[in-house]
A and B are shown apart, each in its own frame.
Chain A
Amino acid sequence: MDEDRSLIAHLLRRAGFGATPSDIDAAAAAGYEATLDDLLHPERFERPAEDLLARFHSEHSDEESPRWAAIKWTYRMINSRRPLEEKMALLWHGVFATGWAKVTNGQMMQRQYEMLRDNGLGNFRTLLQKLSRDPAMIYWLDQQSNHSEAVNENYGRELLELFSMGRGNYTEDDVRACARAFTGWTMTQVLPRYPTGYWPAEFVYREEDHDNDEKTFLGETGNFNGDDVIEIIVRQPATATFVAREIYRAFVADDVDEDHVQEIADAYVRYGYELRDVMRFVFESDFFKHARFKRVKSPIEFVVGTVKLAGEHRDPHQFNLARLPALSAMMGQELLNPPTVEGWHTGREWIDSAFLVERVNFAAEKLGDSSAPGIAEIASRIRSGHTSASAADLLDACAAEAGGVNLNESTRSAILNELSVQDEIACEGPELDDAVAEALALIGASREYQFA
């Protein structure tokens, strides 16, 4: 695979969920800068039409169900021409980890996801302001129990520890002051589900329940309200580093290089917390361009990337869409339901024996299906470039078409040793489709395929 296509494929894996070979062709023809510019401006493209999803998946289409919200999100990840906004939503969902295990209300979870998606490339200050008014978050961290006369510190603490600065950068007094600044930030009552069904709750600010006394927060003193506290938080150097590290781990590599994190943190300050500019800086950096296959794919990235490559679920009617988020859950990542407020443990922790069996089986099933549109497309591309191919040529061509999977020499020889085709294969006949599917199944089963 030539360098231009390899680099574009890397960008499409990271700023999106992977790509078909023809997507890569089109992006390579447009060039890296133009492709990146489109990714950073999702508003230039329509979101995929979803009006038929509920009709074709009616057994799952319960608006009260958080599972339905996860199914629709999965469909968007596969089909959106605005993949970076979905990727940003996924990043912030992992950071501001809210789970329906406690929230239980599908509409509230759906609205939080939309808020993260719509603000994920915006200003970090705005993102924290919206987050602090999000009903699912309020309920998740008991913010509705935070009263002027009875302070509940849960949200105030996690805002500092898990959502912005990280431990060691503030005192217990700061936690207390932060929580007091958010007193009175609550929501309309959530009615119990039975017998009336769920009702989405709205954010409300109750002035009479707000602690109006003076507060000292991170060395500054005033009659702070929640937004004042956020203003102080976003300009802290610790916040810059925190945001930079989260972006680095989501988009660059699992193993953190602190120098590169600092470069991203500097960009965060330089661009006034504008995340779109920060992301442009990252994607244009040499350290990003060189960090190929340095991240273990998260389960939903693994599932969606594999489905995209196989060319499936492009249409809303394809059966079994609900299986995809369910499989991601079986691999350890249940969308909209992270295990704790700390989010998922990523990187090598995605690989556990129960999870790996699911990953390998899924990839081999999808990529080994010669009738899948994406697999047929790969066979036809190989056919149009070759009249005949050796087993080694075939394997290398498949790895390249699958986004440039970087097979190491021992993997390559292990696969070659077991392919049914051992000699030259004529490309015009149907045996090519079969051989391509076989090679792709083994590529999907490889260690290298676990990485993005």
Chain B
Amino acid sequence: MSTTHGNGNGSKRTREPVLVVLQLSGGNDFMNTVVPYGDPLYYDFRKTVGISEEDLLPVNDDVGFHPAMAEIKSLYDSGNVAVIQGIGYPDPDRSHFRSMDIWHTAEPHDFSSEGWLGRTIRELDPQKQNVVTGVSFGSGLPRAMYLSGTPAISVTELESYGLLTSLSGVRQRAALNAFTRMYVPEEFEEAQMVMQHIGQTGLDSLAAVDLLRSAPDGYSSTVEYASDPLAQSLKGIAQVHLAGLGTRIFYAQHGGYDVHGNQVQTQAKLWSQVSRAVQDFFADLKEHDASDEVVMLIFSEFGRRVRDNGNGTDHGSGGGAFVVGEHVAGGLYADYPSLKPADQVSGDMAYNNDFRGVYSTLLDDWLGIHPDPIVNGHFEQFEGMLQPLQL
């Protein structure tokens, strides 16, 4: 029972819940993102990078948003932003790469090459009927999206995406014709099964390229995205979603959060980009009557040390996350982790929510699939954070 909406160029979009995951790489300093300004300990620990009360965008008497987050604050005030205060996993790892792997694979103890979104894509499209069920924007496919045998597409930018893009014009068309014929999976003898696999994969890739390249064709919008790569990634996601290609999982990345030094300036720049891009993205969807179809998770691999280092902050654990969308019951979730020295874990905020509980909530209440096999266990969910999409 689904209804369809036009996107303005005649194509039909099926209403389905869509998840966008936005990764902030480098370890976002949550303490300076949603700032516990009501706690005097904050200013004791953040003598140089602390943000003064009058600069913050207050949420209540305890916490306020970073001053660069005006657009996200406005989404929050509309009730569309859930803030997960204090998120992490047991035995935190302060290596960027290992911690990111843990978030990508939902596996804190063992190494795994299976991404949680790869498994999600397999669950959403077990017959592989749609080669663009999962689409990542950015440089290379994140491990979160990878699962051997499950198609997932990686696009650096939509405008230049394609097969055989080093050729142009007639040459490229001829080469694509040749490619189509060269990759026809034929009946091979058993020893040649791998040829058949490569053929099918090649044709899948070509189909994905054709679909995605056509996405911007019928798109028009009054929203003018910024020119930074994150804004352009979110614009690409909006274009693909509005084209009605049936993509259910999108991924975008934004880097530079590793603020050991020069934190004040860096974080302000990064969050102003995120804040504007997220607002523009949802405004664009709203203009096309699609804003309730998308929920966005914003996460980072870890938070940072409670005490600043004089110019920035070093790797810590216990960070925070955001869930954004019209079907989100906005507000602050869980108590802000205590800053008291006795409550800290080796100088970090103790996490009080396992990230796999947030994944589970998104999978169960938004995408409508059983979370446990995807997140490797059963985790407590945030009841009522998400309302299902009415089809």
Contacts and interface: CB of A to CB of B under 8 A. Distances in A.
B153 to A, nearest CB: 6
Most chain B beta-carbon contacts within 10 A, residue among A341, A355, A418: A418
Contacts of B166: 361, 364-365, 368-369, 441
B121 to A, nearest CB: 11
B209 A352 contact: no
Contacts of B97: 99-102, 104, 337
A447 B198 contact: yes
A349 interface: yes
Interface in A324-353: 326, 329-330, 337, 339-342, 345, 347-349, 351-353
B184 interface: yes
Interface residues of A, number: 51
Contact of A417 (B148, B181, B197): B181
Contacts of A194: 260, 309, 314
A330 B164 contact: no
Contacts of A447: 182-183, 195, 198-199, 202
A279 B268 CA distance: 58
Contacts of B181: 410, 413-414, 417
A100 B98 CA distance: 9
Contacts of B179: 360, 445
A342 to B, nearest CB: 8
Interface of B: 93, 95, 97-98, 101, 111-113, 131, 136, 139-141, 143, 146, 148-149, 151-154, 163-167, 170-171, 174-175, 177-179, 181-184, 186, 191, 193-195, 197-199, 201-202, 204-205, 208-209, 260, 309, 314
Contacts of A104: 95, 97
6 contacts: A194-B314, A356-B205, A360-B202, A361-B163, A368-B167, A418-B177
Given A254-B194, A353-B153, A441-B166, 17 more contacts: A101-B98, A104-B95, A195-B309, A339-B143, A340-B112, A347-B194, A351-B198, A353-B201, A356-B205, A360-B205, A361-B166, A364-B164, A364-B175, A365-B166, A417-B178, A441-B164, A447-B199
Contacts of A414: 177-178, 181-182
Contacts of A171: none
Interface of A: 99-102, 104, 194-195, 254-255, 296, 326, 329-330, 337, 339-342, 345, 347-349, 351-357, 360-361, 364-365, 368-369, 410-411, 413-415, 417-420, 438, 441-442, 445-447, 450
A352 B151 contact: yes
Given A360-B163, A410-B181, A418 B141 contact: no
Among B131, B143, B165, B186, the one with the most A-chain Cβ atoms within 10 Å of its Cβ is B165
A356 B131 CA distance: 14
Nearest to B110: A340
